[in-house]
Amino acid sequence: MKKVKGLYVSKISSKGQVTLPTFVRDALGVKLGGVVVYNIEDEGIVFLTSPKYSLNDVYGILPRLKKSLTDKEMVEVAKESRFSEKYTEALRGK
């Protein structure tokens, strides 16, 4: 990624699109059809970055779960976890 510092302005089209100038795309390492990430902070500050990895790059890295839980099973696990936390705290005197 090239380092390009400064404040730059782009217009928003009638379709709500913003065109990134070539030097900005080059600085982000983004090609046409590529992806950028908007990180919106307080006071309207927006950071625009390019992701290091695409979803295709990371898909399948983690092993699949052996069995998916049903909605009912997930609720039960959540209840058991909350019950355990609540009474563990009570036993510790919190």
pLDDT mean across residues, the chain:
80
The pLDDT of residue 64 is 76
In single-letter form, the type of residue at position 29 comes to G
Residue 62 has pLDDT above 80, yes or no: no
Q: Is residue 36 a contact partner of residue 30, using CB atoms and an 8 Å limit?
A: yes
Read out DSSP for 3-53?
---S----PBPTTS-BPPPHHHHHHHT--TT---EEEE-GGG-EEEE--SS
- Its pTM stands at 0.48
Residue with tokens 């990895």: 53
Residue 40's beta-bridge partner residues?
46
The pLDDT of residue 90 is 61
Dump pLDDT digits (tens) for 5-56. 888 888 999 999 998 888 888 888 888 888 888 888 888 888 888 877 777 7
**Domain residue ranges of the chain, discontinuous segments joined by +:** 65-92
